[in-house]
Structure 1
Amino acid sequence: MALDQNALVGTVPWAIKGELILNCNCTVFCPCVVSLGKHAPTEGYCQAWAGIRIDDGHYGDEDLGGLNVGLVLEIPGLMARGNWKAAAYIDDRASAAAYDGLLNIFTGKARGTTGLFKVLVSEFLGAERAPVVFETEGKARRLMVGKAIQGEIVPVVGKDPDTDIVVTNTGYWMGPDITVATATKGRVRAFGRVWDFDGRSAEICQIDWHGPQ
């Protein structure tokens, strides 16, 4: 029997494993990863898009595996000071129960790893069903959400081109190991935002999130 999600929000067991990519307006690697939000973004404020590929996951009894999510984030200064604005694009292949579950997860209502969204996001701009495409070709990752988000990121090339530059063992909320990347394309046309972040900072992170604890 399916769980009554509305009645049990914040108590439903959930988990997501997969990959997250993010591109922001920082000129070089985002300082928030290492400083854990104690250092301001390089431009003094953060504007970003993110994509999440769910390889395996569930919200209660509802399977989330194979679904993708796109996010738009806007942070006016230090991450920890809050006052974030956020919006979500939920894979249009999601069932009604999966859509509700993903919305609870990405608004922080489901608690757990993403529970900080409930505290830090002061304005949720909205959520829409959309064809959210997350592709990997070689080392390149692409997120395509109609005309709203068109992004591609690639790892920054190190001394050994076959080995990614990875910041490891961090306390970053997304995950401890962050691959340093850059955007070959980072275009957002969504919720009144018109952003172009080609050549700006990007991140790749393997995620293993869960809740409500």
Structure 2
Amino acid sequence: MLDTATKAAIEPWSIKGELILNCNCTVFCPCVVSLGAHPPTQGSCKAWMAVRIDEGKWGDTDLGGLNVAMLLDIPGSMSEGDWKAAGYFDDRADDAQFAALEKIFSGQARGTTGLFRLLVSEYLGSIREEISFTTEGKVRHLTVGRRIQGAIAPIDGADPEQELKVTNTRYWMGPDVTIAHAIKGKVRDFGRVWNLDGKSAEICQIEWVGP
């Protein structure tokens, strides 16, 4: 339960942009279509994700143009909870933007990301960091200081001009998910040293709202 003061501090919010994620599953991660009921292909989930915010609001505070990343460490099926997570927030964000993004990505702001409040048992921390999220052709590149270095690309389909997608899902991030793989997926933070090169990845256009 959120206390009265926390509820009162929640503004109407929205985020529109692109999400990328790389995990240690063999391509393609079964959690998307099973909504987390199917266990990860390696038994546990080690992942990083990032969001490029093209348009965003927290009340009257503009969030557009900022980037956010997360580290996720999940011991089994995603739906069973006990997640450990950390948040990385664009060092270009001012104090109001940082506070808003922290509430949204910790689940405190309810709405689309509210499940983080239910599933994360240990929030490792919120870090201000230089985050670069760029696209070259079909490849999405991410750097989060020296903590995360990632590059993901859609896998090939029969028509090279069309992205291979899973569509019309009930996945909380968004209904249409592009199947991808990691060209690079390196994580070094909070005692985790992960190499997710060649593992499963996904690209999703998001439109999140709350509360």
State the TM bucket, normalised to the shorter chain: over 0.9
Q: Match of 2:178?
A: 179
| Matched letter for residue 8 of structure 2 | L
| Matched letter for residue 30 of structure 1 | C
SS of residue in 2 equivalent to 1:141? strand
Uncovered stretches (5+) of structure 1, i.e. residues with no partner: none
Deviation at 1:60, TM superposition (A): 1.3
Deviation string, structure 1 residues 11-31 (Cα, Å, up to 9, x no partner): 310000000000000011100
Q: Match of 1:169?
A: 168
Q: Match of 1:211?
A: 210
Report the count of equivalent residues.
207
Matched, 1:27 2:41: no
| Matched letter for residue 45 of structure 1 | S
Counterpart mapping for 1:1-213 below 5 A: 8-9=8-9, 11-212=10-211
Deviation at 1:61, TM superposition (A): 1.1
Deviation string, structure 1 residues 147-192 (Cα, Å, up to 9, x no partner): 1000000000111111110000000000000000000000000111
Quick one: distance in 1 between partners of 2:99 and 2:85?
17
| Matched letter for residue 171 of structure 1 | R
| Matched letter for residue 103 of structure 1 | E
Quick one: distance in 1 between partners of 2:64 and 2:98?
12
Uncovered stretches (5+) of structure 2, i.e. residues with no partner: none
SS of residue in 2 equivalent to 1:73? strand
Quick one: distance in 1 between partners of 2:156 and 2:12?
39
TM-score where L is the length of structure 2: 0.96
Quick one: distance in 2 between partners of 1:7 and 1:35?
31
SS of residue in 1 equivalent to 2:11? coil
TM-score where L is the length of structure 1: 0.95
Runs of 4+ in 1 over 3 A off after TM superposition: none
Deviation at 1:6, TM superposition (A): 5.8
Identical aligned pairs, as a percentage?
Answer: 63
